[in-house]
Amino acid sequence: MDRFFFPETSRKVAAPRGWIEVVCGSMFSGKTEELIRRLNRARIARQRVEIFKPMIDTRYSVEDVVSHDAKAIRSTPVPSPRNILLMTSEVDVVGIDEAQFFDSSLVDVCTDLANQGVRVIVAGLDMDFRGNPFGPIPALMAIAEYVTKVHAICINCGNLAHYSHRKGLSDQLVVLGEQDIYEPLCRNCYNEENHS
């Protein structure tokens, strides 16, 4: 680890290091909007920023990360988390959207970047449509220095929602869609929908 030596105190102080931030929640909760906000602030601070998303996510744009309220930021679509390591030399901040679509190697990639002194900001769904932990997000939450859980509004009762209820009958884990396929629900409404 790099250390700075301060002669007046005769002690060594660790150099600033990187860290991991996770922004998670249900669909329509503002995860991508918060990711874009943090990345734009890093750019205002003249930090070198790179943004990535899974190649599978082409809902709003092939290249841009786009929030549900149409805020957008340029990104690089990648097929695998390992590709991120190949494109992040000389950066201060790495943003990763829709992280639930990546495999578990994303945890090692984020750890490697943070250990190299990079601020890593990851956004994604923490639960799938069945209410189960989704992809690498739970493991990232466990190792992150900062975790922000954002909530949508339940479309049935108006309470805070943290479930992404799928309206269709497909049992496939990954089905890309928006309000035509998914709706945010609170725990009670989600349980009622799934036990009726």
Among all residues, which ones are annotated catalytic?
98
Whole-number Cα distances in Å, 194 to 128, 132, 158, 169 = 14, 14, 18, 11
**Rounded Cα distance, 194 and 81, in Å:** 33
Q: Are 64 and 90 in contact (CB under 8 A)?
A: no
Distance between start and end Cα atoms, the chain: 56
The first and second tokens of residue 143, run together, are 């190792």
Contacts of 48 (CB under 8 A, 6+ apart): 90, 91, 92, 93
